[in-house]
Amino acid sequence: MTRATSTLGKFFSALSRIYRVFRAIILNGLFLLLVILFAASLIGEAPFVIQPGSALLVNPDGVLVEQYTYVDPMQALLADSLDNAGPREVLVAELLDAISEAAVDDRISSLVLVLNNLQPSGFSKLRDVAKALTDFRKSGKPIYAYGDNFTQAQYYLAAHADEVILNTMGSVDLEGFSTNQIYYRDALEKLGINVHIFRVGEYKSAVEPFERMDMSSQAREANSEWLADLWSLYTEDVSRERELSPDFINDFINNMDTHLAVHDGNPAVLALANGLVDNLLSRPDTTRYLRSAIAPAPDSDDFLYVDTHNYLQAQSDPVDTVASDHIGLIIARGTIYDGRQEAGNIGGDTLQELIHRAGQDERIKALVLRIDSGGGSAFASEIIRSELLRFRETGKPLVVSMSSVAASGGYWIATAADEIFASPGTITGSIGIFGLYPTFEKSFQTLGLAADGIGTTDLAGSMTPGMALSPLAENILQLTLEDGYRRFIEIVAESRQLSLDAVNRIARGRVWSGLDAREIGLVDRLGTLEDAIEEAASRAGIDFYQTTLIKRTLSPGEQLIQELANNVMSSQWFSFTSKERGFLSSDKMLSQFSRVLGSDLGKIFEFNDPNNLYLHCQECSAAVLR
């Protein structure tokens, strides 16, 4: 190796050696710190002891999800230490497990719902939790619900409690369901971005934000029907639980100003007077009330409780017997992309590998695919569907369970199943296809740029940035799109045993609720994930089994750091503190607008289908209940 001889060379050589030394010190120090933290976590604290008479505290802090979004373990560890862990998520399965086990646990006397930190979540997930709460009440144990300000999602769960307590300065913010969209056509024109749109199906409204400045009549017609179905489910459930007349909620909302004026503009008193809540108490008074109703905590002015995390950790024998037969469960959550993706999005290659693993595992006797996706790449959707069909060739049953959304590409992959389950509040269908291809020739002109060149054919270089899309390329994309739609229709017709004409009448990009989807033959049965698992076991001919979640395996290093991050997260104390208010402040409204804008426009650049063909449901975001 040549040594530096000049003064400048020696200086940079010494600087390089210093950098390498400091990097080694920092990395080794960080590794040593992790080892110490891991050792400390192994020593840990004494096992958590559940005191007899405790209430189960259910305080969901974040969005209800089927699967945690992957976060780099190191980032999660550092973020948790700074109390800045990013978007918060609550695993529905853990809530359901804790509530169902507590219902038959003699140590648990009651359940307390604290809903201040529950974020907008899928309606079907809320209904699953509500069902668990209803089953809990059948045990004879009471449920108390508290909120500073109830959003519609929060109030839906609170309504399933025996007693609903609202802060004296709070409100119940009911407004009904809606689907709203920001439209960008004029803005894109001003920016000089020319979005070439290709679609089949007059109800395929995913592209409307890029070609219109308002909602089309077809989209209004379709959206009004499934929104009405979901709102009917909401009002029926709440009215039944609160013993209200069926028309009360609509009248309460539509004449809110009149009702509010009767009570001098006080929303808390309004809610109490109309039977939406049972008591108005401040936070300290709520704690005192629960101390008297449940039991006082020793050496504390709090009530006696155990939170869901500690409760599940404290279970002494979570599995009595290990079954030799397994029902595989794969969660397919998020937008579908080509290639590999981490949890929180669906990668065609990633999901294909998981399905293939289930097919090769002799312990797996059947597979349940839980879908929570509005679709995405057409190519990746077909990669997944093909692998599901190959799985069925093994002779093992395949059952699909739809969560809040299983539309467009999400429905494409569902067609491979032996049987499809949906929730009444599921959003599905959206059988249509579109293509988006932005070009920037106008932007180039504005900036004083130009793109030019030469090719050996009329198609060569036609998709160069800064150049207009050639008529030949447009025709190719449109013809490919129409072929994709024909394939979609044929796949649905074959899998659902319907005629092509029958499928075409219910397709055309139209969105359906789970209730309507069953009536028109897009799904087989209405039921929960547990119902789907039981059906898979029945089809496999087994009575004794265990459910095995099939997911990407973390490396040992990732597992270590993830465990440390989880320990930091779980050590936080759960309180009544609300991290979000019932009404949006101006800065939060601006932040929300920024997220929507970034999400909508980001799709143009993030979608990575090799053929620029997409099976995606834009309006399905309305399945999230706020």
Q: 44, 606, 30, 66: which is closest to 347 by C-alpha?
A: 606
| DSSP code for 150 | B
Q: Are strands 511-513 and 624-625 parallel, antiparallel or unpaired?
A: unpaired
- Between the alpha carbon of residue 131 and those of residues 95, 135, 157, 227, 532, the distances in Å are 12, 6, 10, 21, 16
Q: How far apart are CA 612 and CA 379, in angstroms?
A: 9
Contact 366, 323 (CB under 8 A): no
Q: What are phi and psi of 366, to 5 degrees?
A: -160, 160
Neighbours of 287 (CB within 10 A): 18
Residue 408 annotated as catalytic = yes
Catalytic residue among 408, 423, 430, 513: 408
Residue 141 annotated as catalytic = no
Contact 574, 58 (CB under 8 A): no
The packing angle between helices 7-43 and 556-570, to 10°, is 60
Within a 13 Å sphere around the CA of 492, how many CA atoms are in the beta-carbon half? 31
Residue 618 structure tokens: 């834009």
**CA-atom Rg of the chain in angstroms:** 27
Residue 443 structure tokens: 């932007």
Return the bridge partners of 617, or none.
Answer: none
DSSP 189-237: HHHT-EEEEEEE-TT-GGGHHHH-SS--HHHHHHHHHHHHHHHHHHHHH
**Which SS3 state, helix, strand or coil, does residue 368 take?**
strand
Contact partners, residue 391, CB within 8 Å, separation at least 6: 355, 356, 358, 359, 367, 398
Contact partners, residue 475, CB within 8 Å, separation at least 6: none
Catalytic residue among 141, 204, 365, 396: 204
Q: How far apart are CA 417 and CA 101, in angstroms?
A: 31
Torsion of CA 402, 405, 411, 415, to 10 degrees: 0
Q: 395, 328, 363: which is closest to 551 by C-alpha?
A: 328
Q: How far apart are CA 402 and CA 394, in angstroms?
A: 23
Q: Which long-range contacts (CB under 8 A, 24 or more apart) does 284-290 make?
A: 286/146, 286/165, 286/167, 286/576, 287/576, 289/165, 290/55, 290/112, 290/144
Q: 159, 176, 154: which is closest to 274 by C-alpha?
A: 159
Tell me the catalytic residues. Answer: 204, 408
